[in-house]
Amino acid sequence: MSQAEAKPAPKSFARRDHIRDIEKSVQAKWDEIRVNDVSCDPSREKFMVTFPYPYMNGRLHLGHAFSMTKAEFTARFQRLQGKNVLFPFGFHCTGMPIQAAANKLKEEMATYGCPPVFPQDVLEKDEPEEEKSAEATLAAKSKGKKTKLIVKGQSSNKPMRQWDILAKMVPLEEIPEFADPLKWLNYFPPLGVADLKAFGSAIDWRRSFITTSVNPVYDAFIRWQFNLLHRGERIRSGFRPNVYSVKDKQVCADHDRSSGEGVGPQEYTLVKLLIIAPYPANSPLHHPALAGKNVYLAPATLRPETMYGQTNCFVLPEGEYGAFEWKNGDILIMSERSAVGLAHQDYAVEWGKTICHVKMTGADLLGLPLKAPNAPYEVVYTLPLTTISMTKGTGVVTSVPSDAPDDFVALRELKDKPLWREKFGLTAEMVEPFEVVPIIEIPGYGDKCAVTMCERLDIKSPKDTIKLKEAKDEVYLKGFYEGIMLVGECAGMKVCDAKPIVRKALIDRGEAIPYFEPESMVIGRSGDECVVALTDQWYLSYGDEQWRSLISAHVHSENFNTYNAGVLEAFDKAIDWLKEWACSREFGLGTQLPWESKWVIDSLSDSTIYMALYTISHAFFGGEATNLDGQSPAPCGINPEDLRDEIFDYIFLHKPLPASFSTPIATATLDDLRREFEYWYPMDLRVSAKDLIPNHLTMCLYNHSEIWKDQPQMWPRGMYCNGHIMVDAEKMSKSKGNFLMLLECVEEFTADATRFALADAGDTLEDANFDRSVANQAITYLFNEEEWIRQVLGDVEKGVMRDGEEALCFMDRAFNNEMDHLIEATLSDFNRMNFRDGIHRAWFDMIIVRDFYRDWSIRCNIPMHKTVTLRFIEALTVMMAPITPHWCEMVWELMGRTGTVCDARWPAFQACDKNIRKEYIFFRDFLKNFRLGSIKLKVASPKCAYVYLASTYEPMKVEVLQYMQTQCDANGKFAATFVKDMKPWIESQPHLKPATKVLMQFAAFMRDEAEERGADALATVLPINQRAILEENKAYLMAALELAEVSFHDVDGEGEVPGDKKKSAQAAPSKPSFSLYSANK
């Protein structure tokens, strides 16, 4: 049986344990010879690959491993090309997550004891996921798709306690120590090192370190970076809207969040609808604190240009609202949630604090008369809308039924159902006089596009939510880009041009104010829902036109490789979207801003050029990742206190030391460090999951271009991104039992089998799939192949194999040629980082070819050829070394090779001989087709066969082939419209037209053949001798097909042939036909 068809490993763990023993032995060897320690060597081409350091608030899981393998496989592959390869690895501790987790644990112990006794509480059921407005959807397109993130522990409506999280990772008696954030820095990074070593990672551990000010070397490096950015005026200060954690009292960036990564501020216009006095007798608005003040309903809208069409205002009858006072004296009625946000945007009497004079429900507001800015009606009324979400906007919605399908349907229902409106105490005068007001003309939709769409989609009720969303998205997008204003000061202008003008006029007249919210819900690491705050902030000026153009030009240049068109497209979107970025915090772990120490640099901003530090970090951290915090003496003898900006300028920017500058560091030492940096940089490849494109990876490009603004040759040369990993076709989830930790996979499947399954999982931007059955099968593959290799090497030692160039037969030559083809194809796949395709060629296809060769040897009782077979073993071993390095190291030693397989060279190959390959494929396919075709044929044994061969096509098909030769490229590729274009050509030939159907089928078949085998498949005369191939291998054919006799007949030249005439007529070039008969008849 082919290993490609092998059954899953049995429940016995002997095979797995055997491979684990190999891995441990090999890792001990690698440690002893320091196999991954590398230094600059100007005589060799270098290759530097990096991976974003994982965050150290826990152990590494399969998601980390999947993305990391792309760097790991590439590092090992490039080393096989003879390059000097550097793959360093660090551990990220900067920012809020660790600090917030430590604080949360401290609070739990203070509240519930140590060990804590938690109440049996359950979270309220989450509200349905909010729908994005069409405008929000449009804005989000610039950032690309985001994988949906769920707040940890809340999917089951149970609160996730920090104590419980830690209890799954650390001994119970140690948990209280994690209330100190420094405990996390000392505990988890060494475990990350151990897990990656067990995985067989090709990392130079001497260069590893942790981040934050705990590490004086890293701290000095980041201060240098930010001083340069500051001097270059890339860092500025001012009030800017940022997503903000009220609980933590600081900006909440992507890496500070439990959910909502990639969500930014969205700007609304908060329109002030004055409530006309006198108020109803029992209204909460009679509260003394409101006396003599203007009281407004405060809807937030993304479409201020449509205020000309207001007919009413909606509230949620059961919604909870408050009357909030602001520093200008206005009273705005809105949800408490939105008031908290507004209080952080410079409207509050005391920044961040709300003043709520009275609370009320939406029912208390129904029927109130309002004066709405720009509305055509002097008075509009407050009406009920039961689909309002209190988690978006202010809970108040202004109604424009001409252009908002939801508003139109809700107003129509209140008009058509008197009993419905009477339920809320509304009179006819509050509803019936208000007609839809045309304000925007849209080609194809008229001047009341909401009405048009509701009629087209047959929307009957506000409950038709799916249709309403479709209608809303379509009319907004059409209206914004194609609509023409019919009313107001911007009449005749496009909506997209009129919007900012109308908005500014409303704000200037005091009838509206700007208001920000997160685009969608963001939960901070401390567990609170974030708002948008205007904060006095240091920010990086990403999006500056000159800077942005520089980055855009680089990613599109020949000096940058994204390996995938989708990645390049994602970078284009990110570069267009990314703007000013708040880069400092007042709370959390990290490096302080050099010029204002109350600020701590955020976790995304301190991780943009640290890859440069890897080039010299071995001189500071050294050892086997035992000095991650840099607290021990540096191997180079430099005291971190002496790492001033001038030192880093000398090393990284090739600047001379100032004449007045004094340092105890020897110039020779600095020159060594400079040589290391200038040898290794730039990094040739950065590998990451796709969700870092909109932030970290794009920021990395921006920062490199500024720090090395005079040396573009130091900018990153390539970035590869992949999708996320699923397990057994399902999202990884602890509740499903498929959330796999890295060490757990190594222990359950072995490191090499895990790596095998990860290589097989996929390489695109789509989510990949780690199939546990593949990992189990890989154990069997590796175990069985080792047994066969040991057997072959035994036969070599016994001298029972054939040898010598003169002994090569067709199958030897074909096997060698197929290896040439697969070695070259795998090289191409691995160069393009297509590891799934590569492993299928390097393992499965190689094994299939070998199995065919081995089957021939056994059935014909002809020993395999020694040189050919040993070539196969070595080629398989070296090509698989990036994927299954431990197993390959073991085979390398079995073969008696010296050194390590890590330093082997890619297998030598010649250009594949196309004729030999055609002969091989012909022979292989003949066997396959014979077996399939004879399954249902009932012929008594002993069976015999007539095989019918054709070397030329009938004249009509020759003409088709000659035409097809003019329509494809050298690789046999046709235009997408080929089949469609082919039919008119056939029908234009009178002698071909009657056979159009047959010839079209033939052309489609030959197109597929050409695209698979190349343009040679379209040859009108077969370039191979079919009969000679079959005659040479007749003995094998008879044995493999269980035939007593077989004869071959050329239907082109023999005239009358024996056997079934219908079968003989079916023969075509490269497609023999056959008939069976019994020798006893």
Q: Which two tokens stand for residue 240?
A: 């800017």
Rounded to 10 degrees, the C-alpha dihedral 299/305/308/312 comes to -20
Q: From CA 134, how far away is CA 148, in angstroms rounded?
A: 19
**Distant-in-sequence, close-in-space partners of 308: CB < 8 Å, separation ≥ 6:** 374, 375, 376, 437, 439, 487, 488
Tell me: the pLDDT tens digits for 294-334? 999 999 999 999 999 999 999 999 999 999 999 999 999 99
**For residue 1012, what pLDDT band results from cuts at 50, 70 and 90?**
confident
Angle between helices 955-965 and 996-1013 in degrees, nearest 10? 50
Q: From CA 372, how far away is CA 307, in angstroms rounded?
A: 8
Rounded to 10 degrees, the C-alpha dihedral 526/532/538/543 comes to 120
Q: From CA 187, how far away is CA 178, in angstroms rounded?
A: 9
Tell me: the pLDDT tens digits for 19-44? 999 999 999 999 999 999 999 999 99
CA distances from 774 to 4, 113, 538, 840 (A): 11, 46, 50, 13
Q: From CA 22, how far away is CA 28, in angstroms rounded?
A: 10
Q: Which two tokens stand for residue 290?
A: 């409101």
Determine if residue 326 is left, alpha or beta; phi over 0 gives left, psi from -120 to 50 gives alpha, anything else beta.
beta
DSSP-assigned beta bridge partners for residue 865: 802
pLDDT at 8: 54
pLDDT at 477: 81
User: In one letter, which amino acid is 1005?
Assistant: F
pLDDT over 60 at 2, yes or no = no
Other beta carbons within 10 Å of 572? 15
Peptide bond into 518 cis (omega under 30): no
Burial state string for 123-144 with b = 16 or more CB within 10 A and e = fewer than 16: eeeeeeeebbbbbbebbbeebb
* Interval 164-170 mean pLDDT: 91
247 burial (CB, 10 Å; 0-12 / 13-18 / 19+) is: middle
If you ran DSSP here, which 8-state letter would residue 593 be given? P
Which phi and psi (to 5°) does residue 992 adopt? -95, -25
Tell me: the pLDDT tens digits for 477-495? 888 889 999 999 999 999 9
* Interval 61-73 mean pLDDT: 97
Angle at alpha carbon of residue 48, lines to 44 and 49, rounded to 5°: 145
* Interval 199-214 mean pLDDT: 97
CA distances from 444 to 316, 449, 498 (A): 34, 9, 20
Other beta carbons within 10 Å of 879? 27
User: In one letter, which amino acid is 397?
Assistant: V
Q: From CA 790, how far away is CA 180, in angstroms rounded?
A: 54
**What DSSP assignment string belongs to 53-106?**
PPBSSS--BHHHHHHHHHHHHHHHHHHHTT-EEE----BB--BHHHHHHHHHHH
**For residue 146, what pLDDT band results from cuts at 50, 70 and 90?**
very low
Q: Which two tokens stand for residue 1?
A: 């049986």
618, 204 Cβ separation under 8 angstroms? yes
pLDDT at 348: 95
pLDDT over 90 at 1023, yes or no = no
* Collapsed DSSP state (helix, strand, coil) of residue 494: strand
pLDDT over 70 at 10, yes or no = no
**What DSSP assignment string belongs to 1030-1057?**
HHHTHHHHHHHHT-SEEEEEETTTSSS-
**What DSSP assignment string belongs to 228-287?**
HHHHTT-EEEEEEEEEEETTTTEE--GGGEEE-TT--EEEEEEE-EEEPSSPPTT-GGG-
Q: What is the longest distance spanned by two Cα atoms in the chain?
A: 116
pLDDT at 74: 98
pLDDT over 90 at 1017, yes or no = no
Window from 115-124, 351-360, 702-711 with minimum mean pLDDT: 115-124
pLDDT at 31: 96
Q: From CA 411, how far away is CA 384, in angstroms rounded?
A: 9
Q: From CA 237, how far away is CA 965, in angstroms rounded?
A: 66
Rounded to 10 degrees, the C-alpha dihedral 346/351/357/359 comes to 80
Other beta carbons within 10 Å of 269? 23
More confident residue, 1013 or 357: 357
pLDDT at 723: 94
Tell me: the pLDDT tens digits for 1026-1065? 999 999 999 999 999 999 999 999 998 767 899 999 999 8
Q: From CA 483, how far away is CA 494, in angstroms rounded?
A: 6
More confident residue, 955 or 5: 955
pLDDT at 1081: 67
Share the mean pLDDT of the chain. Answer: 92
Q: Which two tokens stand for residue 173?
A: 């008696």
pLDDT at 145: 42
pLDDT at 814: 97
CA distances from 1002 to 154, 994, 995, 1070 (A): 59, 14, 11, 14
The pTM for the full model equals 0.82
